[in-house]
């Protein structure tokens, strides 16, 4: 079978990742967890195990006892690598905090070194709370093995908190560093757990834990405070029970040391297990085989092309059919043997599904002499790639696996020429609008776990010509607890573990507060000043121009109110060949800070910010990105991002930014880092749509490493219909 350029490129692309991370993909399925610990990782109650979750699982747990309220987000990034982000309310510090608790953020990693095989147990190594303040800091090596099909036992060796020897939290340190020098130091102690699966729903656990729920905090004035995280130090034996209900949920209850009762709720979602695996979209139109030559001699000969009314009629019929499939036919070129269409996918997560449905409709709309189909995918009016198919292959391979039509296809850069293409009548200018509710969440604030605002939003988009788009929105708050408030006073000024806050009036009255005590402009730490407006606000009002100067270069220029806090001009250029996993880009912005009322006025702060970027798409849905440049506060540095996207559109990523600001200038956390999450709405509803639910969870909103949040950056728009990303979803071609 002949190999297409698309298939060859994909083989060349997937090979590097097999070298980098592929070693983990060749092993047997790892030992899967039966339940989650209070730390959000597969485990017993407080102790870890060597278990993992199904690859790609995204989960969350909430556990509550007298010692702590913990909210954990866990992600099985690779078959052996598990990561968890934790946000905890730690109790029992009334000796030096009037409210008796602190909110703490922490991050864990665990790697399963070997899986269970014969008499050999599964073995994992983990680091706990290695980037936070260190309240739960500890490391461990743990082995887990099935004793019987229902009984599973774990035995491990722990350091730090897991050895009952919590490390001193250094209040003179800004945090955010790995503190590698402390790993596996301070003496180790054993821990153990045994779990029994009573039936398909119920499991029980007993464990031996060394956690004393105690911490010490070194104040900035040199003093040392030690606090018990609860009324008393617990014993070593913990007991718990967990009950699974539905496909994704679990509730549990546990007793810690015979002293304290706690409860836990767990949800675990696997991107490969949608509630509607087949979707709820209507079935595609079947491929229509061409009639025999003697049944339609005029159609086969191409004489129809001499009729001046034929092309417009065919284009209108195809455009109308594509609208029913959620596609726009922007333009079309038609000759007796070849048809090129430029489509805009407005419905399907995978571009391959839009291309497949277009090919089906082309077999029904085009005369039989047309053998070559060229389907060009357009992103906001800019052609991004072309897939060339033979009509005979579409007819022959309709009921075969999608890999065969992929092998018979050719992917290329979309041609620049416009002369032969005819725009679809009455398509532009084009107005879209909607009015509905909005929900604005603030997650993992250092002082409040959840803040929210609810209201009504009107949003409109007016596309004047392909690539020239006017967009705007207006919001009216209804209710919520996001209130306007000035930035925090650094903890060093009041010798506490958490700063206070200026009122909005105090902040507005003192211009000197618009920089931190270290002289860093407040570009994000005063974000709360944009909250709580009771009058209407304009979150966005822009005019954007998307273009393609050459076949492999894309450009964007956006002017206006670019985001909640900044307005100005943003310009971007991207080099991205259709058949290359590598891309380079550059962006420059000249922006000014908006006034806190969210309307048309501006404040005095003005800055030029921009980055050069490199992107590389590996196999298994991994994309690496490096951005180097100047940030909103004028600091210079780099951001590294690693994102994994699954076939159904789930995206989970992590990023870290380090700039030339010192840890003291940056403040608590030392550098910027966080997790991104984007889930297609269609995964949960089954209804095809390109809408997404997205959020960024970061440890803090600091001024260092802050980027402009301009919409419609080029890379994500272009890559949907190119090489790795397109082929990853090629299984949807016939869907």
pLDDT at 686 over 80: no
How is residue 385 written in tokens?
């790639």
pLDDT (0 to 100) of residue 502: 82
Alpha-carbon span 642 to 272, nearest angstrom: 20
Residue 429, number of CB atoms within 10 A of its CB: 11
DSSP 32: B
Q: What is the pTM of this model?
A: 0.87
- What's the rounded mean pLDDT across residues 586-603? 96
Residue range 263-321, pLDDT digits in tens: 999 999 887 777 666 667 788 999 999 999 999 999 999 999 999 999 999 999 999 99
- What's the rounded mean pLDDT across residues 75-101? 76
pLDDT (0 to 100) of residue 6: 37
pLDDT (0 to 100) of residue 702: 81
pLDDT (0 to 100) of residue 696: 84
Where do the DSSP E strands lie in 631-685?
636-645, 651-659, 672-680
Instruction: Report residue 23's pLDDT band, with 50, 70 and 90 as the boundaries.
Output: very low
What pairing do the DSSP bridges indicate for beta strands 338-345 and 372-379? parallel
Question: What does pLDDT average to over the chain?
Answer: 87
HSE-CB at 187 with a 13 A cutoff on CA atoms is: 7
pLDDT at 565 over 90: yes
pLDDT (0 to 100) of residue 4: 41
**Judging by beta carbons within 10 Å of its beta carbon (0-12, 13-18, 19+), is residue 359 exposed, middle or buried?**
buried
pLDDT (0 to 100) of residue 485: 86
For residue 138, give the nearest of 59, 48, 66 by alpha carbon.
Answer: 48
Helices 310-324 and 351-365, axial angle in degrees (round to 10): 140
Instruction: Report residue 174's pLDDT band, with 50, 70 and 90 as the boundaries.
Output: low
pLDDT at 11 over 80: no
Residue range 383-421, pLDDT digits in tens: 999 999 999 999 999 999 999 999 999 999 999 876 689
- What's the rounded mean pLDDT across residues 473-486? 90
pLDDT (0 to 100) of residue 447: 63
pLDDT at 104 over 90: no
pLDDT (0 to 100) of residue 694: 85
SS (HEC) of 498-558:
CCCECCHHHHHHCHHHHECCCCCECCCCCHHHHCCCCCCEEEEEEEEEEEEEECCEEEEEE
Residue range 185-235, pLDDT digits in tens: 989 999 999 999 999 999 999 999 999 887 776 665 666 666 667 667 788
Distances in whole angstroms, Cα of residue 25 to Cα of each of 78, 143, 144, 276, 618: 8, 21, 21, 27, 14
Alpha-carbon span 630 to 400, nearest angstrom: 51
Instruction: Report residue 495's pLDDT band, with 50, 70 and 90 as the boundaries.
Output: very low
């Amino acid at each position: 079978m002949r190999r297409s350029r698309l298939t060859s490129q994909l083989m060349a692309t997937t090979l590097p990742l097999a070298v980098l991370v592929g070693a983990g993909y060749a092993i047997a399925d790892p030992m899967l967890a039966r339940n989650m610990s209070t730390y959000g990782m597969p485990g017993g109650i407080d102790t870890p195990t060597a278990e993992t979750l199904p690859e790609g699982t995204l989960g969350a747990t909430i556990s509550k006892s007298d010692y702590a309220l913990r909210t954990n987000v866990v992600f099985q990034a690779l078959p052996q690598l598990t990561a968890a982000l934790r946000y905890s309310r730690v109790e029992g510090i009334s000796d030096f905090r009037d409210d008796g608790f602190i909110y703490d953020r922490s991050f864990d990693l665990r790697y399963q070194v070997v899986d269970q095989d014969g008499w050999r147990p599964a073995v994992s190594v983990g680091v706990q709370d290695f980037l936070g303040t260190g309240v739960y800091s500890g490391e461990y090596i743990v082995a887990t093995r099935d004793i019987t099909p229902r009984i599973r036992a774990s035995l491990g060796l722990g350091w730090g908190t897991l050895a009952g020897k919590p490390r001193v939290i250094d209040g003179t340190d800004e945090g955010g560093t790995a503190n590698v020098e402390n790993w596996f130091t301070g003496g180790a102690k054993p821990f153990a757990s045994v779990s029994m699966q009573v039936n398909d729903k119920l499991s029980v656990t007993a464990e031996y834990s060394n956690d004393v729920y105690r911490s010490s905090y070194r104040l900035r004035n040199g003093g040392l405070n030690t606090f018990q995280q609860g009324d008393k130090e617990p014993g070593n034996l913990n007991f718990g029970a967990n009950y699974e209900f539905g496909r994704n949920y679990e509730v549990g209850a546990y007793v810690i040391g015979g002293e304290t009762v706690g409860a836990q709720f767990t949800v675990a979602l696997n991107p490969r297990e949608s509630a509607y695996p087949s979707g709820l979209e209507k079935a595609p139109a079947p491929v229509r085989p061409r009639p025999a030559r003697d049944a339609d001699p005029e159609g086969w000969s191409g004489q129809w092309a001499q009729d001046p009314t034929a092309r417009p009629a065919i284009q209108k019929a195809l455009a109308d059919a594509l609208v029913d499939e959620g596609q726009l036919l922007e333009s079309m070129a038609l000759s007796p043997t070849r048809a090129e269409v430029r489509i805009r996918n407005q419905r399907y997560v995978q571009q391959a599904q839009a291309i497949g449905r277009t090919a089906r409709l082309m077999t029904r709309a085009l005369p039989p002499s047309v053998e070559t189909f060229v389907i060009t995918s357009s992103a906001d009016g800019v052609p991004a790639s072309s897939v060339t198919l033979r009509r005979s292959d579409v007819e022959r391979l309709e009921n075969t696996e999608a890999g065969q039509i992929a092998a018979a296809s050719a992917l290329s850069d979309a041609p620049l020429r416009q002369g032969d293409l005819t725009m679809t009548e009455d398509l532009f200018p084009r107005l879209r609008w909607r009015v509905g509710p909005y929900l604005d969440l603030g997650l993992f604030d250092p002082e409040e776990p959840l803040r929210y605002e609810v209201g009504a939003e009107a949003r409109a988009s007016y596309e004047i010509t392909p690539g020239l788009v006017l967009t705007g929105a207006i919001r009216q708050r209804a209710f919520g607890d996001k209130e306007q408030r000035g930035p925090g006073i650094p903890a060093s000024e009041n010798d506490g573990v958490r700063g206070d806050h200026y009122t909005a009036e105090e902040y507005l009255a003192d211009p000197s507060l618009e920089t931190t005590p270290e002289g860093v402009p407040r570009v994000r730490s005063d974000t709360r000043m944009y909250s709580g407006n009771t009058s209407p606000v304009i979150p966005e009002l822009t005019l954007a121009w998307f273009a393609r100067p050459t076949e492999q270069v894309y450009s964007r220029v956006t002017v206006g109110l670019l985001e909640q806090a900044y307005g100005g001009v943003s310009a971007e250029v991207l080099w991205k060949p259709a058949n290359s996993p590598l891309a380079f880009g550059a962006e420059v912005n000249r922006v000014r800070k908006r006034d806190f009322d969210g309307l048309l006025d501006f404040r005095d702060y003005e800055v030029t910010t921009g980055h050069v970027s490199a992107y590389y798409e590996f196999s298994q849905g991994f994309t690496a990105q490096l951005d180097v440049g100047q940030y909103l506060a004028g600091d210079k540095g780099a951001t590294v991002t690693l994102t994994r996207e699954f076939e159904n559109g789930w995206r989970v990523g992590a990023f870290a930014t380090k700039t030339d600001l010192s840890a003291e200038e940056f403040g608590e956390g030392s550098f910027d880092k966080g997790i991104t999450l984007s889930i297609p709405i269609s995964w949960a509803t089954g209804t095809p749509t390109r809408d997404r639910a997205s959020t960024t969870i970061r440890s803090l909103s600091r001024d260092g490493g802050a980027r402009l949040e301009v919409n419609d950056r080029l890379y994500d728009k272009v890559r949907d219909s190119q090489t790795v990303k397109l082929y990853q979803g090629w299984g949807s071609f016939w869907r």
